[in-house]
Amino acid sequence: MKKVFILILFMSISAAVFAEDGTGVWWGSNYMPGNFMFGGTISIEADNGALVSNTGAAGFGLLGKAEMILYKPVIAEISPFDFGVAAKARTGIFFDLNSGNPDPWFPLGVAAFGTAHMGFKGFNVRFSDFGDAPVQFFNIASRFDYYLNIGLAFDISKQPGSTYSPIGFAAATGFNYFVNDNFFLTTEYTYWNGFSGFAVGGSYKLGKGQKTKSMDIDLNPLYYQMYLGQFYSLYWYSFYAGGFSFDDSNYREGEGSVWKLTSKNNPQDTLLVEKALLKENSDGTKWWKVKYSDNGDSIVFEFMIDTDYRIVKLRFRDADTGKVQEYEPTDTDSVKYRKEDMRTFTDSDYSDMKTGTEKVKTPAGTFKADHLVYTEEGADYEWWITDNVPGNMVKFSWYNTDDTVTGVLERITKGNKSELNTDF
- Alpha-carbon distance 299 to 421, whole Å? 15
Q: Is residue 8 part of a domain?
A: yes
pLDDT value for 368: 96
Q: Is residue 418 part of a domain?
A: no
- The answer to whether the beta carbons of residues 311 and 305 sit under 8 Å apart is yes
CATH number at residue 120: 2.40.160.20
DSSP 67-115: EEEEE---BTTB--EEEEEEEEEEEEEEEESSSS----B--EEEEEEEE
At residue 261 the predicted structure's pLDDT band, cuts being 50, 70 and 90, is: very high
Q: Is residue 51 part of a domain?
A: yes
Q: Is residue 14 part of a domain?
A: yes
CATH number at residue 325: 2.50.20
* Coil vs helix vs strand at 353: helix
* Residues 189 and 224 placed together within one structural domain of the fold: no
* Residues 196 and 235 placed together within one structural domain of the fold: no
Q: Which of 217, 232, 253 is the last residue of a domain?
A: 217
- pTM for the model stands at 0.55
What is the share, in percent, of the chain residues with pLDDT greater than 70? Answer: 84
At residue 134 the predicted structure's pLDDT band, cuts being 50, 70 and 90, is: very low
Q: Which of 217, 245, 260 is the last residue of a domain?
A: 217
* Residues 244 and 382 placed together within one structural domain of the fold: yes
Q: Which of 170, 187, 217 is the last residue of a domain?
A: 217
Q: How many domains in the chain?
A: 2
* Residues 279 and 205 placed together within one structural domain of the fold: no
- Alpha-carbon dihedral 61, 64, 70, 75, rounded to 10 degrees: 50
Q: Find the mean pLDDT for residues 162-173.
A: 89
* Residues 90 and 108 placed together within one structural domain of the fold: yes
The answer for 166, left when phi > 0, alpha when psi is -120 to 50, beta otherwise, is: alpha
- The answer to whether the beta carbons of residues 149 and 114 sit under 8 Å apart is yes
At residue 401 the predicted structure's pLDDT band, cuts being 50, 70 and 90, is: confident
- Alpha-carbon distance 106 to 59, whole Å? 10
- Alpha-carbon distance 422 to 424, whole Å? 6
At residue 20 the predicted structure's pLDDT band, cuts being 50, 70 and 90, is: very low
Q: Is residue 108 part of a domain?
A: yes
Q: Is residue 423 part of a domain?
A: no
* Residues 174 and 237 placed together within one structural domain of the fold: no
Q: Find the mean pLDDT for residues 131-158.
A: 78
- The answer to whether the beta carbons of residues 195 and 305 sit under 8 Å apart is no
Statement: residue 310 has pLDDT above 90: no
Residue 293, CA distances (Å) to 55, 138, 260, 288, 300 in order: 68, 35, 10, 17, 9
* Residues 186 and 237 placed together within one structural domain of the fold: no
Statement: residue 167 has pLDDT above 60: yes
- The answer to whether the beta carbons of residues 112 and 172 sit under 8 Å apart is no
* Residues 289 and 231 placed together within one structural domain of the fold: yes
The sign of the CA dihedral 361, 367, 368, 371 is: negative
The full length of the chain comes to 424
Q: Is residue 419 part of a domain?
A: no
Phi, psi values for residue 155, rounded to 5°: -90, 110
* Residues 68 and 119 placed together within one structural domain of the fold: yes
Phi, psi values for residue 71, rounded to 5°: -145, 140
pLDDT value for 318: 87
- Alpha-carbon distance 328 to 316, whole Å? 12
* Residues 122 and 248 placed together within one structural domain of the fold: no
At residue 213 the predicted structure's pLDDT band, cuts being 50, 70 and 90, is: confident
* Residues 151 and 281 placed together within one structural domain of the fold: no
Other CB atoms within 10 Å distance of the CB of residue 116:
16
Q: Is residue 420 part of a domain?
A: no
* Residues 134 and 248 placed together within one structural domain of the fold: no
Average predicted confidence (pLDDT) for the chain: 85
> How do residues 369-396 score in pLDDT, each as one tens digit?
999 999 888 889 999 999 999 999 999 9
Q: Which domain holds residue 263?
A: 220-413
DSSP state of 284: S
Statement: residue 129 has pLDDT above 80: no
